[in-house]
Amino acid sequence: MAVVSWPAEFVERYRRAGYWRGRPLGDLLRDGAREHPDATALFCGDLLWSYAELDERSDRLAAGLAELGIRA
């Protein structure tokens, strides 16, 4: 699998604007779940997940991947 980096000019612009703060996605999901657990985080058609549900499901996915030996 190839990993493609963002162009340097985008990285710098997004960091200066505060869009990228160097925080892992899991941390952002956890913050959203703590601050707004019942607010809608994700929807697609009839599917509707709160931040708490998205955080819980992402933790389950991470645990499942870790069991398979897939780690960050």
Q: Tell me the per-residue pLDDT of 46-70, one tens digit each, with 9 for 90 and over.
A: 999 999 999 999 999 999 999 999 9
Distance (Å, whole) CA 61 – CA 71: 11
Instruction: Grade residue 71 by pLDDT with cuts at 50, 70 and 90.
Output: confident
Among candidates 60, 38, 59, which has minimal Cα distance to 49?
Answer: 38
pTM exceeds 0.85 for this model:
no
